[in-house]
Structure 1
Amino acid sequence: MLIRNATLADLAVVAEVERRCFPASEAATEEEFRERLEAYADCFWLLFEDGRLASFIDGMATDEPDLRDEMYADASLHRPDGRWQMIFGLNTLPEHRGRGYAAMLVRHLTEESRKRGKLGVVLTCKERLVPYYASLGFENEGLSSSTHGDVSWYQMRLTFR
């Protein structure tokens, strides 16, 4: 296995994995991924198994403590020195699930965020995933104001102490 930062050369395969992991109403577009990679490739990690992309995680840094829907589509809101690391997506291809890859990527992002002096990591997830993220140390802050994809989302936060 290999974990590395994404580059623009990974754009097509990242967009394909996103399409396979999220419904169209929730999935980022290829153009949104292009903008994210141009703005914050250092906050975008890919996990490869046998040379093939199996899973990825991405998000931006900001001084805002809460994840807002506008952040998904506007990469210019990224602040490299922002106090909080957001997670926009954690994608694992169905045929690679159950192997711990998502947890590896969350831990990798968390460790990198600590090294960068962030206060912590914030994400939103569907209710069924709240226990999963809680098992990784995130605290459930309740329903988010997010209406991304016309779905109810819960905000989860991991604060570094």
Structure 2
Amino acid sequence: MVIKHASRKDIAALTAVETACFPPAEAATEKEFIDRVQYYGNHFWLLYEGDKLLAFVDGFVTDEPDLTDVMYEDAALHNEQGAWQMIFGVNTLPEYRRHGCAGQLLRRAVADARQQGRKGLVLTCKERLLPYYAKFGFQDEGVTDKSTHGNAAWHQMRLSF
């Protein structure tokens, strides 16, 4: 297995994995992935086994301390010199879950953010995933009022360095 950053040739695979992982109201579209890869392909961590994308983590960098819905929609808001690495998606194909794929990618994203001098990482998740992200050092800041993405209740979690 190999971890790499995203390029245009990964768009179809990214879209397919995202569709397998999230309901339509929450899943990013192919158009959104085209924009995201264009603006911050180096802030995608993709786990491939041969030619098959098994899992990926993505998100952009910003000086804003909280994750907001507009961030999902506007890749151009990425600021390579920003203080915070946002995590928009943690995706693993259902048949590869519970094999450490997402954990491997999250550890790499954390290490890269630390090496790049960020203040830390921020993500949102549903309540059932709080213990999972806590294992990586993320702390729950409660249900956020800054994201109602997909009409869901999201907890904001932060890992500060």
Shorter-chain TM-score bucket reads: over 0.9
Q: Identity of counterpart residues, as a percentage?
A: 54
Aligned to 1:44: 44
1:100 & 1:10 partners in 2: Cα distance? 21
Aligned to 1:94: 94
Aligned to 1:10: 10
Aligned to 1:108: 108
SS of the residue 1:112 aligns to:
helix
Aligned residues: 160
- After superposition, residues 72-91 of structure 1 pair within 5 angstroms as 72-91=72-91
- After superposition, residues 1-161 of structure 1 pair within 5 angstroms as 1-145=1-145, 146-160=147-161
Report the alpha carbon displacement of residue 50 of structure 1 after superposing the two structures with TM. Answer: 3.6
SS of the residue 1:90 aligns to:
strand
- Where structure 2 has 5 or more consecutive residues not aligned to the other structure, the ranges are none
Task: Deviation per CA, 1:52-93: give whole Å up to 9, x if none.
Answer: 110000000000000000000100110000000000001000
Over 4 Å off, 4+ runs: none
Report the alpha carbon displacement of residue 136 of structure 1 after superposing the two structures with TM. Answer: 1.0
Task: Deviation per CA, 1:13-57: give whole Å up to 9, x if none.
Answer: 110110010000000000000000000001011001243110000
- Scaled by the length of structure 2, the TM-score of the pair is 0.98
SS of the residue 2:28 aligns to:
coil
Q: Could you say what the CA RMSD is over the residues aligned between the two structures, in angstroms? A: 0.6
1:48 & 1:98 partners in 2: Cα distance? 16
2:144 & 2:132 partners in 1: Cα distance? 17
Report the alpha carbon displacement of residue 135 of structure 1 after superposing the two structures with TM. Answer: 1.1
- Where structure 1 has 5 or more consecutive residues not aligned to the other structure, the ranges are none
Q: What one-letter code is carried by the residue in structure 2 that aligns with 1:86?
A: M
